[in-house]
Amino acid sequence: MSPPAGASERVRWLLLVYRVPSEPSRLRAGVWRRLRGLGAIYVQTSAAALPASPVAERALRALRSEIIEMGGTALLFASDVLAGEDGLVAQFNAARDDEYEEIVDRCEDFSRQVRKEYDDDHFTYAELEENDVDLAKLKGWFDKVRARDVLRSEGAGRAAEAIAGCEAILEDYATHVYDRELDA
């Protein structure tokens, strides 16, 4: 039976519950980094959740195997949330919004850096190339966050606008670099 019109669809979740040996601490940190990279949220210590998808399941199964190989224990569950799903969705979306906000902050840093090139009258191909690489990194990061944003948080639009602003400022800077080259 499908949900009534206007009702949100229930999300199926994957839950990884694990225990990693306390030493060396790099093992715990490595698991934490991997889970963060997947976009997982912690529902409590050593229990991380992700909206279910084939990609997420493969990644969590692989991580579970690695945890076991390092001498830990891990269980992977697929489940529906019987109560409190709105809070879990909100937590997941807040994590994505935080990532998008960090991208916006980095875009502001990028724009300041390019404006500094103008202030310093520094229009070289080397600087253009360096800024182009920085923008490509920002765009790649945005693409990764957007791929994790399966529940469609609200921050994506602002981050997309910030990326577009960076593209525009870099394009203008490139025009100035090319103009200087023609004048030389």
Reduce the DSSP state of residue 6 to 3 states and report it: coil
- 30 within some domain: yes
Domain co-membership, 53 together with 114: no
Q: How far apart are the first and last CA of the chain?
A: 71
Crossing angle for the helix pair 125-148 and 85-119, to the nearest 10 degrees: 170
| Three-point CA angle 145, 170, 183, nearest 5° | 160
Question: At 14, phi and psi to the nearest 5?
Answer: -110, 135
CATH number at residue 37: 3.30.70.240
Residues 82-99, mean pLDDT to the nearest whole number: 94
DSSP-based helix, strand, coil % in the chain, nearest 5:
65, 15, 25
Domain co-membership, 119 together with 171: yes
Paired tokens of 108: 């502001």
User: How many CB atoms neighbour CB 156 within 10 A?
Assistant: 18
List, for residues 133-158, the tens digit of each pLDDT value.
999 999 999 999 999 999 999 999 99
pLDDT class of 184 with cuts at 50, 70, 90: low
Residues 49-67, mean pLDDT to the nearest whole number: 95
Mean pLDDT, all residues of the chain:
91
% residues pLDDT > 70 (the chain): 95
Domain co-membership, 129 together with 73: no
| Contact assessment for residue 77 and residue 23, using Cβ atoms and an 8 Å cutoff | no
Residue 87 and residue 58: Cα distance in Å, rounded? 25
Paired tokens of 179: 């103009």
- Examine the fold and report which residue of 21, 50, 82 is the final residue of a domain before the chain moves on: 82
Number of domains comprising the chain: 2
